[in-house]
Amino acid sequence: MNLDLALIDSSAPFFVKAPGKSLNWSKAPIGLLEKNQEFRKKTHKKIRENFDSYVKKVSTLGYNAISIDELSFLTDFPFYPENLRSKIQSYQKSYRKLFKTAKKNGMKVFLTSDFLFSNASIEQETGGSFGKVVSLFYSALEKLFSEFENIDGIILRIGESDGVDVKGDFRSRLFLKTPEDANRLLKEILPLFKKHSKTLIFRTWTIGAYPIGDLIWNKITYEKVFLDIPTDNLIISMKYGEGDFFRYLNLNSLFFQDDRPKLVEFQARREYEGFGEFPSFVGWQYAAYREELKNAKNLAGFSVWCQTGGWSSFKNITFLKNTSYWNELNTFVCIGLFRKNWSVKKSLRKFYGKKNLTELIRFLRLSEYVILNLLYDPEFAKHQLYIHRVRIPPLLHITWDRVTISDHFRILYYSFCENRERSVEVGYKAIESLNEMGRIAKRISLPYDFRFQYDTFQLFAFCRELLYLPDPERQHYLLEETIHLANIYAENYPDAYKFRILSRKRIPGFMSKLLLKLFIRRNKDMRILDRILFSPLMRHFYLFLYQRIRSKLPSFINQQAMPVSELLK
C-alpha cells in the first residue's frame, strides 16, 4: 500500500517544559507555555528549534504532511480584548516561521481546530446562536486562508471538547449536536475550501455526546452527516476501530461504506498501553488492518499520532530529548506499511538492521503477547459491547496512567468474562514472557527497562485476580500484598502508574448482572429499550446517580477529559 497523504502530528516540539505531575497530551499545551498569560519569545524560540529538528526527522522517514495545533491562536477578531489581540499577533508571527520550516522540508501544513473554540468574548458575540457560531467559524477560516496561503487545510474535530483541566484563552465546546447540524456546517464552509483550494479533513471521532455522538460507527448517522456533501475538498478521517486506539477492535466498517475520500488514523505513542515507556508494538495489528483496507474505495492517506493522546505523568517526547525508542519504532513501521508498502519484517530490518533481527522479532512477538494477555483481559476484551451511543472499550480498569480496582469494575468484568479462572491464569502466564524479553534485551542490547515493565505488569496481574473472585482464604492476603507492592511501586516510580485498589464490598449478584445486561448490548443496532433507558428524564437521573458514586470512580473522570454532564446528553 502506497498512500498519497502521510500525515503526522507535531505536538512534541511544544512540550518544552512539563509543569505538574500529569500532563494533557491531547494537544499542544499552548496555554501552559505562557507566563502570566503572556506570549514568551524565549519559549517560542525553543519551540521553533524543536520543530526544526522534529520536522527534519519525520520528513526523512517519509511523512509528507504535518498537523499543527491550533486555529484559535491564529484568529484575531475585533471584539477580542486588546491584550488577547496583541498576543494573537505574536502567535501569528511565530507560527509563520513554523509553517516556513515545514514547507522547506516538503511537508503540507494542516492546522487543527475544534468546532468550536470558545471564550467569554465569543460567547457574548454569538449568544450561543448556531447560525452566528457557523458564521464566526467561516470568518475565521476566511481570515486564515487569506493571511496564511501556505496552509494546506484544516483538521476539524467536532465530537469531543477540551478536557476540564484545559486552561488559557480558549476552551472548546460541542456545538454540533445532531447529524443535521454537521451537514449544515459542511455545506456552509466547504465552498470556502474550494475557493481557496484547501482541504478539510473532517474527523468522525465522537464519544457519545448528543445524537451525533455515534458518528464514529453508526452508518445511519454517517449518511445523514454527509448527505449531498461534495467531496472535492473533503477527506473523512476515521480512527481504525469503532472506539479509541485500543487492541481487540475490528476495522471500522465505515471505511467500506462509500467511495468518499478517507484517511485512517493510527497511534504510535499508545496512550492506553504505556505511552512508550515499555514496548507496545503495533506492526502486526496495523498490517492486518492494511490487508482489509485494500478493499476500501478511495483511501486517500493515513495519519499517525506519535505524541498526541491521553493524560499521563510519562514525559517521553518522541524524536526529541528523552524520546521513546518504542514510539519511534512504531512511527517508522507505520510509514513502512502504508507509504512504502513494506512488510512488517522489512520495516523492522530497515529500522534495526539485519544483525540479531530474528531475536528482535521474537522480543516484539513476546511484547505483543504480554499486551494482549496481561494489560488487556482477553476473556473480556474479545466481546463487542455497546451502551447507548458508545462502543465500550476493551480495557476499562487501566486508563492512561491510572489503575482502579473497585466493585463497579468487578461487576462489569465479572458479568461478561465467561472463564474467570482462565483469565487469571493467562495473566500470570504472561509474566514468563516478560522474563524472556528481559533475557533477549540483555543479549542484543535493547534500550529496554525490564525492571520497570516487570514491576508494573506484576501489579497488573495481581489486579486482574482482584477483579474476579479469589479464593476466600487468599482474598485478604492478596489485597494487602497488592496494596503494599503498589506503595513500593509509587516510591520507585513516582511518575508512572497510579494504583487505586479498593476492597470488595459485595459479590456481584444475579440482579446487578441482570441490570447491567439491560443497559449493555452486544449488537451495535439500537434497541427500543435503549431509547427508553436513555430518554431525557432517565439521563437526568443518571447524572444524579453519578454525583453519588463519583468518589468511587477513577479520579481522571472528575479531573480530566470532557465533563460527564456532556456525555449524558
Q: Spell out a b/e string for 314-333, using b for 16 or more CB atoms within 10 Å of the CB, else e.
A: bebbbbbeebbebbbbbbbb
pLDDT band at 475 (very low <50, low <70, confident <90, very high): confident
Could you identify the residue written with the cell 457574548? 124
pLDDT value of residue 540: 79
pLDDT band at 234 (very low <50, low <70, confident <90, very high): very high
pLDDT value of residue 112: 98
For residue 70, whether the previous peptide bond is cis, meaning omega lies within 30 degrees of 0, is yes
* Residue 237 main-chain phi, psi, to 5 deg: -105, 125
Cα–Cα distance between 20 and 311 in angstroms, integer?
Answer: 12
- The DSSP string of 488-531 is HHHHH-TTS-EEEE----S---HHHHHHHHHHEESSSSPPHHHH
Strand duo 23-24 + 65-68: pairing: unpaired
CB 60 within 8 A of CB 52: no
For the chain, the C-alpha Rg in angstroms (whole number) is: 24
Strand duo 390-391 + 386-387: pairing: antiparallel
Across the chain, mean pLDDT equals 93
Beta strands in 398-471 (DSSP E): 398-399, 402-405
Q: Supply the DSSP symbol for 371.
A: I
pLDDT value of residue 536: 82
Exposed / middle / buried, residue 407 (Cβ in 10 Å: 0-12, 13-18, 19+): middle
Cα–Cα distance between 42 and 90 in angstroms, integer?
Answer: 12
Q: Supply the DSSP symbol for 494.
A: T
Q: What are the cell numbers at 201? A: 479533513
Q: Inform me whether the pLDDT recorded for 527 exceeds 80.
A: yes
Q: Inform me whether the pLDDT recorded for 36 exceeds 90.
A: no
pLDDT value of residue 557: 61
Average pLDDT over residues 136-159: 97
At 332-363, the pLDDT tens digits run 999 999 999 999 999 999 999 999 999 999 99
Beta strands in 253-343 (DSSP E): 262-267, 299-305, 311-312
pLDDT band at 302 (very low <50, low <70, confident <90, very high): very high
Domain ranges of the chain: 5-352, 367-534
Q: Inform me whether the pLDDT recorded for 165 exceeds 90.
A: no
C-beta pairs of 54-57 under 8 Å, 24+ apart in sequence: 54/10, 54/12, 54/13, 54/319, 54/320, 55/10, 55/101, 55/102, 55/105, 55/107, 56/105, 57/319
pLDDT band at 20 (very low <50, low <70, confident <90, very high): low
Least-confidence region, from 219-223, 340-344, 424-428, 531-535: 531-535
Cα–Cα distance between 411 and 506 in angstroms, integer?
Answer: 10
Q: Inform me whether the pLDDT recorded for 167 exceeds 80.
A: no
Neighbours of 512 (CB within 10 A): 15
Neighbours of 105 (CB within 10 A): 18
Percent of all residues in the chain with a pLDDT value above 90, rounded to a whole number? 80
At 307-319, the pLDDT tens digits run 999 999 999 999 9
**Nearest one of 219, 206, 305 to 260, comparing CA atoms:** 219
CB 328 within 8 A of CB 318: yes
Superfamily of domain 5-352: Glycosidases (3.20.20.80)
Percent of all residues in the chain with a pLDDT value above 70, rounded to a whole number? 95
The Cα-based distances of 198 to 6, 95, 168, 192, 259 in angstroms read 17, 18, 29, 8, 20
pLDDT value of residue 569: 66
pLDDT band at 218 (very low <50, low <70, confident <90, very high): very high
CA-based angle 448:453:457, to the nearest 5? Answer: 155
pTM: 0.95
CB 185 within 8 A of CB 135: no
Cα–Cα distance between 560 and 24 in angstroms, integer?
Answer: 8
pLDDT value of residue 34: 81
Cα–Cα distance between 503 and 497 in angstroms, integer?
Answer: 19
* Dihedral class, residue 197 (left if φ above 0, else alpha if ψ from -120 to 50, else beta): left
Q: What are the cell numbers at 176? A: 454540533
**Nearest one of 274, 253, 303 to 4, comparing CA atoms:** 303
Q: Inform me whether the pLDDT recorded for 84 exceeds 90.
A: yes
CB 472 within 8 A of CB 453: no
**Strand, coil or helix: what is 401?**
coil
**Strand, coil or helix: what is 557?**
helix
Average pLDDT over residues 68-73: 96
Q: Inform me whether the pLDDT recorded for 567 exceeds 70.
A: no
- The residues near 286 (Cβ < 8 Å, ≥ 6 apart) are 240, 266, 333, 334, 337, 338
